[in-house]
Amino acid sequence: MIKVAKFGGSSVADASQFQKVRSIVKADEDRRFVVVSAAGKRHGGDNKITDLLLLVNAHVQYGVDCTSLLATIEERYVEIAAELGLSFPVSEEFAKIVEKIETATPEYVVSRGEWLTGQLMAEYLGMPFVDAADVIVFHHDGNVDMERTQTRLREAVLYNGGTFLLPGFYGATVDGQIKLFKRGGGDITGAILARCIDAGLYENWTDVSGFLAADPRIVDNPRGIHRITFEEMRELSYMGASVLQEEAIFPVREVNIPIQIKNTNAPDDFGTIIRETANKHTREHLITGIAGKKDFVGIYVQRAHMSNEVGCVRRALSILENYNVSVEHIPTGVDSFAIVVNGDDVKDTIYAIVSDIQRELKPDSINVLPGLSLISVVGRNMSRRVGTSGQIFGALGQAGINIRMITQSSQEISIIMGVQNEDFEHAIRVIYERFGDAVVVSD
Ligand code: ASP
């Protein structure tokens, strides 16, 4: 099986991290394709090279001298090369980059973080270096030209004898103009490579052992999630449990290549495997994970006999559209409905929105409930299992937590509840303690 192994910034932050990467790559001969991010933070107060390069651009833009900033960046690479005894001429190459800084595009400057990290890692691993500018082809609008990219990547596979290292995060248009993915976009490069060369597995190496069933800042020692579907991951990531660049799932999901999140600092941990459908196991967790976010706002609208009227909800929604506010949930009752939106999105406009709804719908009452937290309990095994939601609500009730809103995703893989911000952490702990380890037995 061919594996693409992508290593994030913290996995390549210094020489000792490089050593870990080498032992991981050498431990499995299937790991023939490696993608790297730019060197990231070595410790809490440190800087990511990409951030420093963005800062260089800002200095250049405003004509401010950035000699010492450039020296800091160069130093990071000089240090890695020296400690590992690499022959790549860091200072010489860095000087060439510096020469171009005034005239090059900002994208070129930022991409050099991955380029330099890639050069050093390729030498250290003894793998050919393939420049992403030659194989990841962008349209001028910033989207990837998948057809050309696939052709070029496959040519690179043949040309380099079936193994190479590719820097992540950037590519270029056909006329050579460097383009970048969004921040964290090295994950996308890895996914595109895995797809274009028909890899059997896309490994994403980072500094955590995959997804956890709950936020460790709220729940002590939550269990790791070993298996998760793409859909479940979307639900959890949307609620803030993010490990992977969100867009990285699309290229591999379409062709059914699983992603495995692994920890460079604890390579024996299983991590999390993400695939389209989870293989059936006889004992599975009822709940895959819990995630949540604070500071939503609920707008509750009530009017007698509203249920008989056509178009009420649409009219309310079009008001939010006028204010360019995206709607999270719309729980409905017989003669009432609520609209839940992100608090930040309406902080300056909530009164105007309410008065527009008042004028347009003439409701009997309209209440705004700020400080609403949403908690999403996600689990493919909850679907069609009678009583799960009842048990969750019951547990919250016993703990004295008032649920302000309930919705369920249409596939029944998640139950979303709204509670007051003050109850947020407590509610998550209650749900985790009762159901975090619960298993279901299937036949
Ligand atoms: N170096 C880039 C960033 O910091 C891309 C990546 O790390 O994947 O966003």
Residue 190 CB less than 6 A away from ligand 1:
no
Establish whether residue 167 lines the binding site of ligand 1, counting it when its CB lies within 6 angstroms of any ligand atom: no
Domains (range + CATH), the chain:
3-207 (3.40.1160.10), 289-441 (3.30.2130.10)
CA–centroid distance, residue 27 to ligand 1 (Å): 25
| Alpha-carbon separation of residue 99 from 45, 143, 303 (angstroms) | 29, 29, 68
Contact 20, 262 (CB under 8 A): no
Ligand 1 pocket, 183 CB below 6 A? yes
Q: pLDDT 10s per residue in the chain (443 long)?
A: 999 999 999 999 999 999 999 999 999 999 999 999 999 999 989 999 999 999 999 999 999 999 999 999 999 999 999 999 999 999 999 999 999 998 999 999 999 999 999 999 999 999 999 999 999 999 999 999 999 999 999 999 999 999 999 999 999 999 999 999 999 999 999 999 999 999 999 999 999 999 999 999 999 999 999 999 999 998 898 887 778 888 898 999 999 999 999 999 999 999 999 998 877 777 789 999 999 999 999 999 998 887 777 888 999 999 999 999 999 999 888 889 999 999 999 999 999 999 999 999 999 999 999 999 999 999 998 887 788 888 999 999 999 999 998 888 777 889 999 999 999 999 999 999 999 888 887 65
Output the CA 185–ligand 1 centroid distance in Å: 6
Q: Is the CB of 52 under 6 A from ligand 1?
A: no
- Which atom in ligand 1 lies closest to the alpha carbon of residue 169? 5
Q: Let me know how long the chain is.
A: 443
Choosing from 183, 204, 264 the residue with most ligand 1 atoms within 8 A of its CB, the one to mutate for a pocket test is: 183
d(CA 187, CA 261): 11
**If residue 24 lies in a helix (H) or strand (E), which one and from where to where?**
helix 15-26
pLDDT at 443: 57
Dihedral pair phi/psi, residue 249, rounded to 5°: -80, -25
Give the ligand 1 atom nearest the CA of 186. 8
Ligand 1 contact, 7 CB (< 6 A): no
Helix axes 146-159, 186-196, angle to 10 degrees: 70
Cβ of residue 185 lying under 6 Å from some atom of ligand 1: yes
Residues 6+ apart with CB under 8 A from 145: 137, 138, 139, 174
pLDDT recorded at residue 54:
97
Backbone φ/ψ region at 325: left (φ over 0), alpha (ψ -120 to 50), beta: beta
- What pLDDT does 273 receive? 95
184 in ligand 1 pocket by Cβ < 6 Å?
yes
Displacement of CA 7 from its chain's centroid (Å): 15
**Residue of 35, 48, 107, 166 with the most ligand 1 atoms within 8 Å of its CB, for mutation:** 48
Q: Supply the residue whose CA is at minimum distance from atom 2 of ligand 1.
A: 184
